Structure 1
Amino acid sequence: MRTLLQKSGKNLFNSIYIEEQAYNYPVVRMVLEKYPDIPVITIRNYKDVFNRGNQCFQLQKHRQSLILAVKSSPFLYKGPEVCQDFGYSDFYYTSFLFNCIFDCEYCYLQGMYPSANVVAFVNVDEFKQEIENTLGEKKAYLAVSYDTDLIGFHNIIPYWDFLQDFFTQYSDINVEIRTKSANEVFYNEFLPAENIVVAFSLAPQEIIQKYERLTPPLSARIKAVKTAIFKGFKVRLCLDPVIINSGSEKLYEPFFRNLFMEINPDKLKDVGYGFFRMSKDFFKRIEKQKSDSQLYADQYSITDNIVSYPNELREQIMTRHLSILEEYLPKEKIFTL
């Protein structure tokens, strides 16, 4: 399977669009120095490219462009109910990037955005200012890699260079960086912090091959997990989304057992577990684009405008799965949705 690491920097993006007001930001200069051979197009506003009509998300995904833009407020959003809040009443997320360089078939971004191009916001200081103003005196949970993969994107734009010192100042803001990346260099470049957790999304290799195009294989992700733990980072495993169509539920029991043979569960902060789920509106948009997808052709139920597996089936599978996970982890370290 071809992964992102096999793409060269020269053909990673088809072109780079830059807002007129973005040119003076350090992030823009960094990108232009890194990719001098990619065509550059100046634009007035990122929405002129990103939000235009008649775009085909699936075609663009195979040849993405990078859009460098200055974001306007808001920079923080309340976390949605379909996502795990890990026990925090103040759950927020922020999006330094729109879209992702990986291409997962089950990803809700296909129904959320009109374009598959990646928008990278360059005014990082304004993000930090709003985070400080809103969360500076709260005990909060903040997902900073919610609509993307910051660690997967690190070799393109190293956002954590601008964020590490800032977040270590606010110990009550518990920051989650979720990733499918196997970029071990990240854990050698930065120091761990008490309020920073790296959340690795893991799945059986058969699920990765079938649904997670361009992502690293399971073995590489496990190796990155071990490196992060060895370097002292707090690590969360996200066994999410669990996909149980076409007999794939049989893959998970051996996956769980092999996973905890490789990774010492005592070294983990916690584990998140959840089924494939998506808002009804996003699901319908993707279903129209992916008429040949077995994933979107399966039978689901709709509860409170969320598409997922029928409750009875989820309860049955979850009971079996949790009984296995609880052999390795105490119940209080397993968060479900």
Structure 2
Amino acid sequence: MAAVGEREAGHVPVMLERCVDALAPAAVPGAVFVDATLGLGGHSEALLARLPRIRLIGLDRDPQALARAGGRLARFADRTDLVHAVYDELPEVLGRLGVPEIHGILFDLGVSSLQLDVRERGFAYAYDAPLDMRMDQTAPLTAQEVVNTYSAQDLARILREYGEERFAGRVAAAIVAARAKEPFTTTGPLAELVRESIPAATRRTGGHPAKRTFQALRIEVNAELTVLERAIPAAVDALAVGGRIAVLAYHSLEDRPVKRVLAAGASSTAPPGLPIAPPGTEPLLRLLTRGAQEPAEDEVAQNPRAASAKFRAAERVRKGAVAQRMPGGGERGEKHRRTGNRRS
């Protein structure tokens, strides 16, 4: 394993210039930016270096990431606040820090390079490691508990919904049968069982057959989609007029809720056919990207982890609550707030 400094020095943040370029116009004097997914701090470092007038709040649920990023950003310590928090806790964090509004926010979703590269974290199917997958290792729920205690029906549901696994029922049944003989404790036996459960013709394409199962388990363990559905509306609502949001998603399950919130914010709520939009129905956002942008071929060649990235950005053009424009208003978010997994 490479030394920490070497590994971080070689870490290439995804679509770095595009993220910074999208957020930079919001860097007015006294601006507060948020890196909602701090990770190893690469995006934050670039923002702080290029925008010397901003204050940056970095959030991460992973204490290891916070420690590593803190070292990387040490020279900017007078302009940074690094906070152990899940990104849907943004309103509470801003309240504690006395920040009434923010001017830029970045989300780099999915699993971080740190979590993938440290074998003991159990995120990867390429080698045997403890079956963990917690982004925050102080949280109670592990992948081992999910695999060994969830019913076949619940396992099939999360594999189908979070992994888009065509053979979810078959894989779930195989897991339940195997764990009755011996519980799963590491990633290797699980990855092999999933591979054997997928029909041979399907195994020949699409990469490792366990990829979708491991994604689904990771999302379940960390309540990623539940958190995301709360976090994006909260981030938009925290933006000052002229503030900007930028989001990097890595699969359609992440990109869909981002697209839905930004589209709702950029739409008028006036009934169609009116010659003039009534006050309060005008769009709250101006979309800065046309659809989801993808990385250039040369970036993917340099940084293969950028291959699946989808980038969206928007600017706040007036005040108003985007959550109220979503189907069901705030009810869905509140239901998830009561039932979703939380950081302990």
TM-score, normalised relative to structure 2? 0.30
Greater RCO, 1 or 2 (C-alpha within 8 Å, sep 6+): 2
* Greater helix share, structure number: 2
Structure number having the greater strand percentage: 1
Q: Which has the larger radius of gyration?
A: 2
Structure 1-normalised TM-score?
0.30
